[in-house]
Amino acid sequence: PGDVCVIHAGVYRETVALPRSGEPGKPIRLLAAGDGPVVVSGLEPLALDWQVRDGLWVGATTKPPVQLFFDGQMAREAHTPNGVQGDLMDRPCFHAEKGTGYNGITCSKLPEGDYAGGYVLIWRGGAWTNATVKIKDYTPGKSLTFETPFAPHGDKYHQGDAFKPKAGNRFLLLGSPAALDAPGEWLAEPAAGRILFVPPAGKKPGDLAFETKARDYTLVLKGRTHIQIEGIRFHGGVMALTEASH
């Protein structure tokens, strides 16, 4: 308790976990030295030999990343409809129409392209939960069917099936090459041993620095108290702060 750790500028690719707590009036302090940015990162550099094909960058890899980052920002998995680039909270959706049910979705707005084999993320039924389902068949402007239909659900808390897909439910399409239609999107194709990336306008291989998710946590302070952290940026990972205070 009372110790001060001064950290100089740099990118530290590790998880910071404190083995003990501070005390009232004697906090443990982690401070940036002030000689430049201090970043604790959950990422590792990813070097790929990118090939340019039809506007896409194609990189061979035997182990596709769980998440892909470029120049410090997270690439979004291929999906449609698209939100504003760089804003992960902006997520437009399609809306299911009459005829939607356990076996699939009816929607006159389904875009052109072959989305069979990809996935649909749907906020089904009462729309307080969502589910991701593989697409079996796909007809643009009409409908899609689920590879595994939803089973009817009933419980004592609801009248009818509160989870049955229905008209009005929001959904989006993802995980298909057809959805690679916006800068900053990417798609892993493990069977082909490659990843696909849509570069920002005017960029060429070598212009961007890529990283891959390597650690879930950048900071672990579970149950710790009286800890002070100043001037340090945590990037590409989660902070575990369960029962932490002060």
What pLDDT does residue 154 have?
A: 87
Q: Check residue 84 and give its pLDDT.
A: 78
d(CA 44, CA 46): 6
The total of other beta-carbon atoms located within 10 Å of residue 97's CB is 18
pLDDT of amino acid 89: 77
Contacts of 199 (CB under 8 A, 6+ apart): 57, 183, 207, 208
Q: Average pLDDT of each block of 10 consecutive residues along the chain (246 residues)? A: 96 96 96 98 95 92 92 93 79 96 98 96 94 98 97 88 96 95 93 93 91 97 97 97 93
Contacts of 193 (CB under 8 A, 6+ apart): 60, 61, 62
Closest by alpha carbon to 29, among 198, 231, 235, 234? 231
- Which amino acid type is present at position 71? D
Of 129, 140, 142, 135, the residue nearest 169 (C-alpha): 129
